[in-house]
Structure 1
Amino acid sequence: FDEVVGHLAELASKARLGDGFQKGVQYGPINNKMQFERIKELVEDAKKSGAKVVAGGAPLEGSGYFYPPTILTNVAEGTRIVDEEQFGPVLPVMPYANVAEAVQRANATRFGLGASVWGTDVARATEVAGMVEAGTVWVNKHGDLSPDIPFGGSKESGIGRQMGDYTLESHTESKVIRIAKPK
């Protein structure tokens, strides 16, 4: 657990924030003030509930809605950062005793937009991914989207699918013209 947290903290600390159109920038600003304030509120709530900030944890000074990648540990079950969809660069890292417990906890939410499973045994990680209740589950990566692959949530996350054939179908209106055969 500590080794994983250390690697995540290192990645978070090295992340480049800035104009998303600039080469080398990994994270642009949060898309609006309301979402920016929500992320700040969720992190503060987690800290008040005993979470430890390992990386990030506070917005950047200056203009723009920049919030650095944040790694939290010692996060309690039932904390808002765990139970709610945050749509921000905050990762609560929580230990588990076994795979069954990890899957049960991952599925205990009413949301299911996306999840990721990480491991050195890709076949086992893929098997575990099949147990996680989410619209998209990545193995050994996260958030990799492609226009030819459908994306959308399950449970209370999202309303259908985007991308792939779903996008074409959602933007297509079928029309039938029937012509009588001449007699």
Structure 2
Amino acid sequence: MGWNTWNKFACDIAIDKIEAAIDQIVELGLDKLGYNFVNLDDCWMKLGRSDEGRFIVDEQAFPQGMKALGDYIHDKGLKFGIYSSAGTMTCAGRSGSLYYEEVDAEDFAAWGVDYLKYDNCYNDNVPGVTRYTAMRDALAATGRPIFFSMCNWGEEDSWRWAPGIANSWRTTQDIFDDFSSVEYNFKTSQ
């Protein structure tokens, strides 16, 4: 289990907010109850890539970079999760990992990432099995064990092919804070 930045902060994220949440997880003893992951969702990166094809981390929000955040999380005894999309852009319009799987996986491993939430936005109509397999293989090539969470909204009957690709996968669309959303996703998953 863990905590994800999206529902609290969406794109309004910064190192001070994330570190405060990490400190609260530990101070409240939530880590002892199984909350082991701190997952940084969308908007940590900018739109565009460096000359070397790498993500450009939002230096205003994370002036020390992702490795420093990963070290802070690990120093607290927690695991570091991060977000990207199996598309050309993330759902919030930042740079995605489609066609950059190898270089992004290398960066994730170098930063100490333990968990990747891999979304489905701006997927260029490339079949999901192709996109998610590319990232699975890129992560494996790093030699670092990274939990791979497919967030493809259950499209393309992913429950049929995802078990051979990812550690976890979605079977439905996003869930919202009303019962009709819960009911819809429950019925869709049956």
Question: Scaled by the length of structure 2, what TM-score is found?
Answer: 0.37
The structure in which a higher percent of residues are strand is 2
Q: Highest relative contact order (Cα 8 Å, sep 6+), 1 or 2?
A: 2
Structure in which a larger fraction of residues adopt helix: 2
Higher Cα radius of gyration: 1
